[in-house]
């Protein structure tokens, strides 16, 4: 699925047992996203991605480089949520 470039600075990531980390959503598709955060992540790490008022999304980090990381959602993102996020950016 194609990725849509966005800039949503109201995103956050949460690791198991950790506090939320402020993040910026850089691109998104129904299967995953690319985020930027002031943190170091490990490939395979499970996180929860939250964007605005939308329901938190469980994800696995599939790559990490500098302050950016790619996440694969555990469940496909609702297409209406994807539409709203891409239109809002």
**pLDDT value for 1:** 72
Q: Along the 89 residues of the chain, how does pLDDT read in single tens digits?
A: 788 999 989 999 998 887 899 999 999 999 999 999 998 888 999 999 999 888 899 999 999 998 999 999 999 999 999 999 888 76
Write down the residue that tokens 């499970």 correspond to.
46
In this prediction the pTM is 0.89
**pLDDT value for 73:** 97
Query: Per the CATH hierarchy, to which homologous superfamily does domain 4-76 belong?
Result: predicted glycosyltransferase like domains (2.40.10.220)
What does the alpha-carbon distance between residue 66 and residue 18 come to, in Å, rounded to a whole number? 20
């Amino acid at each position: 699925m194609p990725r849509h470039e966005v800039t949503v600075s109201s995103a956050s990531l949460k690791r198991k047992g950790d506090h939320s980390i402020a993040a910026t959503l850089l691109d998104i598709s129904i299967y995953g996203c690319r985020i930027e955060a002031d943190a170091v992540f490990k490939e395979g790490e499970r996180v929860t991605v939250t964007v605005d008022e939308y329901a938190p999304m469980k994800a696995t980090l599939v790559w990490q480089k500098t302050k950016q990381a790619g996440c694969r959602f555990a469940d496909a993102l609702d297409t209406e949520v994807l539409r709203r996020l891409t239109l809002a950016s």
